[in-house]
Structure 1
Amino acid sequence: MEEKIITLVVLSFEKAHILKSLLETEGVECFLENTNLIQGAISTGVKVRISEVHLESAMKVLEGMMQEELEPVEVENIPPRILLPVDFSEYSRKAAEFAMDWAHELEAELTVFHTYFNPIISTMPFSDTFAYEVNTEEMVMELEEKAKEGMEEMKNFLNKKNEQLDKPVSLKMEMVKGIAEDEIIKFSKVYRPLVIIMGTRGADRKATDLIGSVTAEVMEGTKVPVLAIPENFQYSGLGGMKNLLYATDFQEADFRSLEKLEKLIRPLNITVTCGHVSSKEHSQWDEVRMTGLKEHIKKNYNEELVKCDLIEHEDLFVGIEGYVRDNKIDMLSFTRRKRNLINRIINPNLAKKMLFHSTTPLLVFND
């Protein structure tokens, strides 16, 4: 039977070569595709290819490499900051309005961040030589010029909003080359914002528009809370945000996330409901745990603004959707649990499902 060759992952040039070395050390044969043989330092989107029979071993190596890159950093004594990745679309602009208003309420600095993609230099065998695209440099320059124009328009848009505020928000603009999700995660490690705010659109939209998948990848890869603003969300100012549902399963991470959440929304006067979807089978035990959570809230938070509720439903996803609709929830929040790569592929987590199905802003914390 012929061996099936598959793509394990697509990475930047540097990361692809690091992974190749790690795989070969573990005895997993692999090779790279889309590597720019002439100017390797600027190549992006390099495919790491392996035999399918080595998938499980390769997954473990890849997961180990990812975890090493995502070590948590200390955030003490850092001034309040918000990171706003943009792609200059209409839904990205909606996220910018939200971020601007939130930065004003938190008295936080706002950094607008854009990544423009380097085109891959494709190669194909032709006799004993390779054929290269000769206009790649022009394409890079064109992409950079469009990115600069987009950033200038976004800056003007936000400056106009700034003029309407009693206390202007401190604005910064950052633009880099690379793969969007990689660069956002990398920058957030250095910048250490309170929250990353991103626009997103549904998975049923144009295949060429990747902001939805980029947002999902950033949620998976960063330790910073990520707020996703859906394309169809009707934003009428922070004054219209009255109710937030935090979906809890009574894990220790929920208590840490609630502490961060309280700091983020303290100036907004939003009511937080800690909700848990409970089936009939587990309802009695869930009531006991909910009582414990209520005691914690009573000791640590304003009970008028933080409440608890059991959501009776056999299906977690349907139960949350119904509760959001029936109780006029303006923002939904989860804590994303750490899972291995195989589970991520086989069972996309609830946060990612909600990201592509909801019209409600989704605030995701990481465990």
Structure 2
Amino acid sequence: MSEKWVTLAIRTYQRAQMIKAVLEQNGIETVIHNLNLENPEMAVGVRVRIKEDDLPQALSIVEDKEKAWEEETRKNEPPKGRNILIPIELTDQINEVCKYGFYFAKKINADVVFLHTYLSPAYTISSSYSTEINTYSLADTEMLRRIVRSNSADVENLTNLVNRWIETGEIPKVKFSFELREGVPEEEILSYCKKESPSLVVMGTRSRFQKDENLIGSVTAEVLEACKSPVMAISLGLKLLPEKIRRIAFLTNFDQKDLIAIDTAISFLNKDHLELVFIHATQKKESWDEVMLAGIKEYFANHYPNLKTEYALLDKEKNLEQIQPFLEASKIDLVALNTRKRSLFSRFFNLGIATRLLFNTDTPLLVMHL
């Protein structure tokens, strides 16, 4: 019998322990070796080693067992789209986005996922067949260790803060989790949304007086323009509570999909007390525009009898900087609109209405791409 030891698999330490227990139940001697002997606390995977003669039997056992484990994991996962995504910088003020994110999660029976991205030193990745395995060759172990420790401490602090808000009733009790990703924030947010299709993305943004004139660098603006899921932008320091939202301004261009978008917006809010203001921007006042707005108003009056509806025409020639006074005079709590996804080229050379609104108003903004 051969005494040669071979590596059966590389797994996380927890999964490796599970495999070891199963193999030993079947009489297969198994050992676990750390990949990073110099810095074992930094290892992201360990080797599961067995004797070469046991390899055929062990492969069959592990393959069957891991299929069963993966199936069980999928059963316990919430349905796709049944979560509210809150992208965060762990040093940012997040009270407002938490209030909105947790409120909407409670309303639609969803979980909350906090997503934080960070940049780490350069490293190389070598991946095996299993999606659970990633082994890293670190260029700067000490720097990465500091990043991991810092992010872990920040996550723990934020977890305690959120739990305290739940205990005091400041936000509703909702299941929440954290996801840390290495990469560029807007790219990782859009990647998550493409894969998981969250019901809503809630993001914070500065007030219009604090926003940089160079709009290209705004993470929130990039996500607003390109995300498939509905995105709500909340100005930090906003005093309005989500349950107090009453008057919604919906910007319409008389597209048929606007009706679906308005339904989506209404689904997140308290339908019994809403007031909808349909807004259309035009170069000159035409009777046909008023006919179309009156038709939309009548449609929603029939489908949502408890809603109060009205409409307004705005001068398209006026700069969007003038919209905030109108919103304040009309006591608008939320601006909603449906807009097409735009290519990177068009976003670079021609700012979309969602981005222009973001940088010219402090009113919460809900953007959909239908």
Matched, 1:226 2:242: no
- What pairs up with 1:1-367 in 2 under 5 angstroms? 78=80, 80-119=82-121, 136-165=140-169, 168-201=173-206, 213-235=218-240, 237-266=241-270, 269-279=273-283, 281-302=284-305, 304-311=307-314, 314-315=317-318, 317-318=320-321, 320-367=323-370
> What is the match of residue 22 of structure 1?
none
**For residues 312 and 321 of structure 2, what CA distance do their matches in structure 1 show?**
16
Letter in structure 2 aligned against 1:152: E
Out of 108-117 and 212-221, give the one that drifted further.
Answer: 212-221
Distance 2:97 2:153 in 1: 19
- 1:247–1:167 distance in 2 versus 1, CA, 3 Å: closer
Please state how far the C-alpha of 1:169 moved relative to its aligned partner.
1.0
1:166-207 CA distance string (max 9 Å, x none): 962111221121111111111123332211001112587598
CA separation of 1:83 and 1:302: change in aligned 2, threshold 3 A:
farther
Question: Helix, strand or coil: the match of 1:357?
Answer: coil
Name the CA distance, whole Å, in 1 between partners of 2:172 and 2:102.
12
Instruction: Provide the rounded CA distance (Å) in 2 between the counterparts of 1:116 and 1:286.
Output: 48
Report the CA distance between 1:119 and its aligned residue: 4.4
CA distance in 2, matches of 1:285, 1:108: 42
Corresponding residue pairs, total: 276
Alpha-carbon shift at residue 228 of structure 1 (Å): 0.8
Name the stretch that deviates more: 160-169 or 291-300.
160-169
Q: 2: distance between equivalents of 1:81 and 1:269?
A: 25
The structure-2 alpha-carbon separation of the partners of 1:215 and 1:86, relative to structure 1 and needing over 3 Å to count, comes to same
| Deviation string, structure 1 residues 71-103 (Cα, Å, up to 9, x no partner) | xxxxxx757421111102444332122212332
**DSSP 3-state at the match of 1:219:** helix
Specify the alignment match of 2:13 in structure 1.
none
Retained in 2: the 8 A contact 1:242–1:330?
A: yes
**1:128-151, Cα deviation, whole Å (9 max, x unpaired):** xxxxxx974333322222222221
Letter of the structure 1 residue corresponding to residue 196 of structure 2: Y
Q: Which moved more, 1:210-219 or 1:101-110?
A: 210-219
Q: Does the 8 Å contact 1:117/1:180 carry over to 2?
A: no
Structure 1: stretches of 5+ with no match in the other structure? 1-76, 122-133
In 1, Cα distance between the equivalents of 2:197 and 2:292?
Answer: 33
- SS of 2:332's equivalent in the other structure is coil
Counterparts of 2:361 and 2:141, CA distance in 1: 40
Contact 1:243 1:271 in 2 (8 A): yes
Q: Deviation of residue 300 (structure 1)? A: 2.5
Check 1:298–1:98 CA distance in 2 against 1; reply closer, same or farther (3 A cut): closer
- CA distance 1:221–1:119, change in 2 (3 Å): farther
What's the offset of the Cα at 1:297? 1.6
Deviations, residues 318-349 of structure 1 (Å, cap 9, x unaligned) = 55323201011111112222344433222201
Query: Which 4+ stretches in 1 moved above 6 angstroms?
Result: none
- Cα–Cα, structure 1 residues 206 and 308, in superposed 2: closer, same or farther, change >3 Å? closer
| Partner in structure 2 of residue 73 of structure 1 | none
Query: Which AA in structure 2 matches 1:111?
Result: V
TM-score with structure 1 setting the length: 0.66
Contact 2:121 2:139 in 1 (8 A): no
Moved more, 141-150 or 241-250: 141-150
User: Which structure has the larger Rg over C-alpha atoms?
Assistant: 2
RMSD over aligned Cα atoms: 3.1
State the partner residue of 1:126: none
Letter in 2 for 1:261: A
- Per the normalisation by structure 2, the TM-score is 0.66
8 Å CA contact retained: 1:201, 1:211: no
State the alpha-carbon separation in 2 of the partners of residues 268 and 142 from structure 1: 50
> 1:293 Cα deviation (Å)?
1.4
